[in-house]
Structure formats: C-alpha cells, structure tokens
Amino acid sequence: MGWIKKILLSQKSYNQDKSLKHEQLSLGKEAPPLSKDLKENQSNIEKAFENAKDFKIENIHVGNREGMICYLNSMTDTSLLAEKIMVPLSNSSQQDRSITNLEEFESYRKEFFSGVGYHFHDKLHGLIDDVLAGYAGVIVDGQPKGLSLHVGNIEYRPIEEPSTQTVIRGPKEGFTESMDTNISLIRRRIQNTSLKFETMTVGKDTRTSVTIAYIDGVINEGILDEVKKRIKKIRTHAIFDSGNVEEYISDKNMTVFPLIYNTERPDSAAANLLEGKAVIIVNGSPFVLIAPTVFSDFFEATEDYYQSFFIGSFIRLIRYASFLIALTLPSLYVALTAFHHALIPTDLLFSLQAQREGVPFPAVIELLIMEVTFEILREAGIRMPRAIGQTISIVGALVIGQAAVEAGLVSNALVIVIALTALATFVSPIASFTAAARLLRFIFIFMAAVFGLYGILLCLFFMVAHLVSLRSFGVPYLAPIAPFIAEDQEDVFLRFPFFSNKRRPHYLKTESPLKNPESESPTPPRSKKGGGS
C-alpha cells in the first residue's frame, strides 16, 4: 500500500506545483522581465497567446529600430489603432529617428503618440495584462521596457434607468457594466479633489478591476484600511460580479441578512460617500457595494430626500411596518387559527371557521402550499421573458388562488394573507434584504405551528440577538439603535429636515464629523416690536 500512497502524494505535489505556476503567471509573481532581444520577447508573447485567434502581432519600425506591435482585435478599435498608432509609426519610419535609450523612447512617444493613454512596463506580465485590457503593446529592439497604448473599444450598455431601484422623483441614471462610466457618474455628482479612486486587480484568471472610492479627510482610516485589506486577501480564479466580492469581504457569511449595501443608483453611492463610507466598484457589474452598512440603511431610499420630510418619514415608517408584516403575518395566522382562538373576535372567528369548513389540510399545511406556490410564481415571473413575465406572475397568482379556493384546498382568508404578505415583501427598496424576510418567514411559520405565539416571540428574540451580534467592517449592524446613539436618531425611523442634519453618523467615527455646520432653517425670523417694514 506504500507505493499507492507515494503515487498519490507525488500527484498531489505535481498538481500543487502546476497550480502555483499558473497562479504566478496570472498574478505576475516571479514573472520574467522584458528582454532587450526583440526575438525573445516576441517568442514569449506568442507562446502566451498561443491558439488565440483574435491575437495579432506585426513587425514594425520604430524610428530607425526594429520593433513589434501586438494587440487583440476583439478588444481594440481597429480604426483608432490605424489612426493613432499605425500612421504615426509609418511616418516615423521615414525619419532617421534614433532610439538608443529610455529617454529617447519617451521623447518618441511624446512626439508621435501624444494624447493616447499609455503605460511603460519592464515585466512581461504587465505588458500582457494591458494587451488583454485593450491596449496595443509596442516593443523596440534593444529597449528593456515595453510601451502599451490604449486603443480599446469595449462596447457597454448605455446609461439607463435603474431596473431594481426605481423612483418617481429623482435622477433616472443608473450604473452600467463599464467601470469608467460608473466612476464618471460619481465624479459628476461630487466634483471635489478629495474624492479618491484606488484600483486593484482580483481573480487570477479574470483579472477583474476593483476600484475603491472614498472621500479623503472624511472616511475613517481604519475602515478604509480594512476594506483594502479584505479585497487584497481575496484568492479566487474569477470575479464576475460585485456579488462575488461581497461574499468574500463580508464579516460573517452565516446570516441571511446582507452585511453590505448594493445599489444601482449613482446618487445613492454619492450620498453614502459624503456620509463617510467606502464605495466598491467592480468592472463588469452595474451594482456597486457600499461599506460599512447598518440595518436601517435597507429601509432608506434616495427618493426620501427628494420630497417633503413629512412624506419621506411616512413612507419610511410604511417600510418598517411592511417588513414586520412580511415576516410575521403568515405565522400569526397559523398561531391564531390553531392555538389562540380567544384572541380572535367572535364574528371573525365564525367567518374563518366557515371558510375553512371542507378544507382538508391544517392551517400550516394550507399556508405552506400557498407560500411555495407564490414563490414559484415569483421566480417564474423573473426568469421568463420580460414581455410576458409580469403578466404570467399576476394572472397565474389570480387564477391559482381562485381555483384553489373553489376547489376547497384553501380558504379565502388565507389567500388575502398571502397576497398582503407578498405585497409587503416588495416594499423594501433593496432586493437582497427582501430575500432575508422571505427565508425567515418559513422559520416563523414552523415555530408558530409548534408553539403558537410563544414560538413567534421566540423567533423575534433570537433574530434580534443575531442582529446585535452582527458587524459590518467593525460597525455594529443595529447601530444607532443598539448601541443607542441619540444624536443619530434623526435619520433612522424618521427623516428629519436637511437643515437639522448637521453631523455625519457617530458610529462611522469619521475624520470630519460635521457635515452641514452652517445650515439653518429657511423660516424667516419674526419681526421685532417697533421695527419697520
């Protein structure tokens, strides 16, 4: 048996070595430097892009020296390449331009490629990464550095209205899959030199760009350092969406509650930056991440701040009430109809019992059948083509509900409970937070079926205890409710007027606590006695 173990160990070692080499190549660790020999560089690059149909490499003259240019025609604008790169190269080849050192190479770039984004690289992996990102790589014989010139032409979806966070009043712009576009949407709203963007690369195969946005002098340095550290510690082969990054950097994964806020709205991201939070932009994703986040953030919407604070406060209270309805209404129905008949008014009790006459299932089974049916309809409505998805979900719910009542499988009252629960679920402005209520609702139903109202109270107790234990980048998840911070209550359950909101949240411990120190009420002062007008 010893020889079998030896073979397995050698195979494991081989796989680890192979994986390590692949990771070193992808991440640029111990990558070979560019050689002064043009043929050697060309051979290494051709080997790296072997069997890549869209890879092109051409021999050129850069001044009086031989050189090469390489690019991916699937990632570059060929007309821009011809205009900005190939024509200047052709013109320079007609001149007896000497390029013997880096200073002359830089002078050549300024003369012939001015106005084109560029990087100089002394490592092979740096030049290859730029080619993969839509640059054209230029290497000159005898030069230890390569030049990459930006001629990318990656088409992205144009700026459209957000699909998941719509508003009646407010900006209609939403983030897209282009990182440059998303950065410009934020920069357009915060025209301040203190707004900083730092970019790093994540994913050894996808090489996804992840940018951290923050306002220098406002954000807590400890929070910023923690965000950077967690992103740098991500070890994965691929990042396709901000949801992948969110899972890697969240404080605790064993919770149904989202610990990082995500949004499609540039105005929401800008507002959170001004509060002292960090915004994480992932290339290829229209959803940006905001950290740290607290429980009350998921009950706020940007539209609250675009209308009267009375209306904004009222709508926010509706959201809190809707969350409790979505979470507990079905379980309350089970508890009252199965255990606590004395709590139901007599006339209503007789009506419920009359409706349930002939229903073959107990209340909890009846409820679970309808809950699962509505979840299937909800998922079908999302996955089906948009033109018929909403129609199928609405019509399907009406038809199935009516048919179930007529068939005697469920009662009319139960259909009303399920419909009201479904409506309350959709009130939350953030879809990821809605999912938490949907999952917890089933636990509440089971506990109500076993213990009645005591089971519901027990679930609420453990849920609150769980929420208190959560952290988002070191910030208590229930702040400023627990721990209670009196100064921060002006924007939790109610939306106070702008002129009274002068400080940033205390729980963020920002470098600049004051936000609107000079804002005052617009109400004109009363005229003094004896004063003229």
Q: How confident is the model at residue 269 (pLDDT cuts 50, 70, 90)?
A: very high
Helices (H), 115-237: 124-132, 179-189, 221-232
pLDDT tens sequence across 147-189: 999 887 777 788 888 888 888 888 999 999 989 899 999 999 9
β-sheet bridge partners, residue 195: 215
Residues 69 and 196 grouped into a single domain? no
pLDDT value of residue 14: 40
* Domain membership flag for residue 472: yes
Give the residue-averaged pLDDT of 96-102.
79
Q: How confident is the model at residue 533 (pLDDT cuts 50, 70, 90)?
A: very low
Please check whether residue 239 is in contact with residue 162, taking contact to mean a CB–CB distance below 8 angstroms.
no
Residues 329 and 459 grouped into a single domain? yes
Question: By three-state DSSP, how is residue 83 classified?
Answer: helix
* Domain membership flag for residue 517: no
Other CB atoms within a 10 A radius of the CB of residue 339 amount to: 18
Give the residue-averaged pLDDT of 404-419.
78
Collect all residues with Cβ–Cβ distance below 8 Å to 91 and sequence separation of at least 6: 112
* Domain membership flag for residue 522: no
Fill in the amino acid letter for 297.
D
Q: Please identify, among 427, 446, 476, the residue that sits at the C-terminal boundary of a domain.
A: 476
Q: How confident is the model at residue 367 (pLDDT cuts 50, 70, 90)?
A: confident
* Domain membership flag for residue 159: no
216 against 62, higher pLDDT: 216
pLDDT at 357 over 80: no
Percentage of the chain beyond pLDDT 70 is 88
Residues 394 and 457 grouped into a single domain? yes
Q: How confident is the model at residue 223 (pLDDT cuts 50, 70, 90)?
A: very high
Give the residue-averaged pLDDT of 503-516.
87
54 against 500, higher pLDDT: 54
The gap from C-alpha 78 to its chain's centroid, in whole angstroms, comes to 33
184 against 91, higher pLDDT: 184
pLDDT value of residue 20: 38
Q: Please identify, among 460, 476, 492, the residue that sits at the C-terminal boundary of a domain.
A: 476
Residues 203 and 336 grouped into a single domain? no
Q: Please identify, among 293, 317, 341, the residue that sits at the C-terminal boundary of a domain.
A: 293
* Domain membership flag for residue 2: no
400 against 532, higher pLDDT: 400
Compute the distance between CA of residue 430 and CA of residue 436 in angstroms, rounded to an integer.
Answer: 11
Residues 286 and 419 grouped into a single domain? no
pLDDT at 529 over 60: no
Q: How confident is the model at residue 398 (pLDDT cuts 50, 70, 90)?
A: low
Domain coverage including residue 144: 21-150
Task: Provide the terminal-to-terminal Cα distance of the chain, rounded to the nearest Å.
Answer: 106
Fill in the amino acid letter for 384.
M
Residue matched to tokens 């607290």: 294
pLDDT tens sequence across 119-138: 899 888 889 988 988 899 99
Q: How confident is the model at residue 10 (pLDDT cuts 50, 70, 90)?
A: very low
Residues 287 and 345 grouped into a single domain? no
Q: Which of the residue ranges 59-63, 207-211, 329-333 would you say has the lowest mean pLDDT?
A: 59-63
Closest by alpha carbon to 292, among 241, 229, 227?
Answer: 227
Residues 268 and 339 grouped into a single domain? no
- Can you give the C-alpha Rg of the chain in angstroms? 31
Query: What average pLDDT is seen over the chain?
Result: 84
pLDDT at 239 over 50: yes
User: What is the number of structural domains in the chain?
Assistant: 3
pLDDT value of residue 11: 47
Residues 333 and 469 grouped into a single domain? yes
